[in-house]
Amino acid sequence: MKAREWMTSDPKTVAVDDFVATAVMLVLENRIRHLPVVRGDSLVGIISDRDLKRAMPSVVAGATAEEYQAFMEETPVEQVMTASPITCEPDTDLVDLVRGFCQHKVGAIPVVEGERVVGIVTQTDMMRAFLVVLENR
């Protein structure tokens, strides 16, 4: 089995200079947890819902609504993303993908051809693949 069989093709992406508010809206509107970050067509990072939550100023801890709003509208994704994420190619074997998930403790791996993002494989995708294997034993 190969990455191409389980990846989400043409995933939602966010530009490196987009603001955090854009990333948050994409995550919420599309009910996803990971966004590849691109500069033009090239992958430069990845941002997760956890990264976004961790970076947010906490109103509970004393941040004002204005500070929160300013963070959302003025902070570029580049300041919150993980740069140079682990990647794979469409023909990467699932065994190698699972090893990558385990070794690097990530929730998603962007699938690239050259530097261009063509898909994303998530832990949920790996669980679906595992279920297929178990059901066919």
CATH code of the region 3-135: 3.10.580.10
Domain boundaries, the chain: 3-135
CA nearest to 5, candidates 103, 87, 93: 93
Mean pLDDT by 10 residues, the chain (137 residues): 93 96 96 96 95 84 83 94 95 94 95 95 92 85
> Model pTM greater than 0.75?
yes
**pLDDT reported for residue 6:** 93
